[in-house]
Amino acid sequence: MKIKLIVLLLLLSSQLIYSQGFKGGLIGGLVVSQVDGDAYAGYHKIGIQGGIYSRYIFNKSWSLYNELKFIQKGSNQTNKDDPYSDFKIKLNYIGLPFILNYQYNDKFIFGAGLSYGILMSAEVQDGAGIVDQEHLSYHNYDANLIIQIKYTLNEHLWIDVKGSYSIIYITDEAPRQFNNLISFSLGYEF
């Protein structure tokens, strides 16, 4: 079911990129994340992201931006003095953010929006090893609020920073947990 949904989203996104009035390109970058509610603090989980994006320009100031991307989220806590207290959460998603952008000037764009994620895989590892998949209860989806600051380098290249926070729990287990991340991207527009 997940594969069929991903293929459908890819086909729809590729059609949007080549439709009249739309621009599109490639995106890639790094993600630093944490899981709020896992009893650890700090953006210690480093992951990657990559995919395609499209944007529709309404006028000189406003545009709608969306992505279809693979993104890694989670948590990572290591203790060099006691390796048995290490704890890692690895969550791999297909993300579909929609962001309303405001073009401040020729270089800066500010945006805010929502993102939906489909969980592709989940793994929890503690000091004793990988936790059995049967004991994991992460939701198959994630929804997030997003803020974005984008800087245009030239006609084709841009960089951005996004902050993202879950608006729903990522698990029903107590304590409640939320994805919390900062992403750094490089984009190329065709």
pLDDT band at 17 (very low <50, low <70, confident <90, very high): very low
CATH architecture of the domain with residue range 2-153+161-189: Beta Barrel (2.40)
Give the pLDDT confidence score for residue 166 in this predicted structure: 97
For residue 24, the SS3 value is strand
Phi, psi values for residue 2, rounded to 5°: -60, -40
Condensed to tens digits (0 to 9), the pLDDT of residues 124-181 reads 888 777 777 677 789 999 999 999 999 999 999 999 999 999 999 999 887 889 999 9
- Token pair listed for 64: 């709608």
**Whether pLDDT at 80 is above 90:** no
Q: Work out the burial of residue 68: count CB atoms within 10 Å of its CB; fewer than 13 is exposed, 13-18 middle, 19 or more buried.
A: buried
Q: State the pLDDT at residue 8.
A: 57
Per-residue pLDDT tens for 37-74?
Answer: 887 888 989 999 999 999 999 999 999 999 999 999 99
Report the distance separating Cα 145 and Cα 122, nearest Å: 21
The pair phi, psi for residue 118, each rounded to 5°, is -110, 120
pLDDT at 79: 74
Where in the chain are the domains? 2-153+161-189
What is the Rg, in whole angstroms, of the alpha carbon atoms belonging to the chain? 18
CA distance 110 to 100: 8
Q: Are 146 and 167 in contact (CB under 8 A)?
A: no
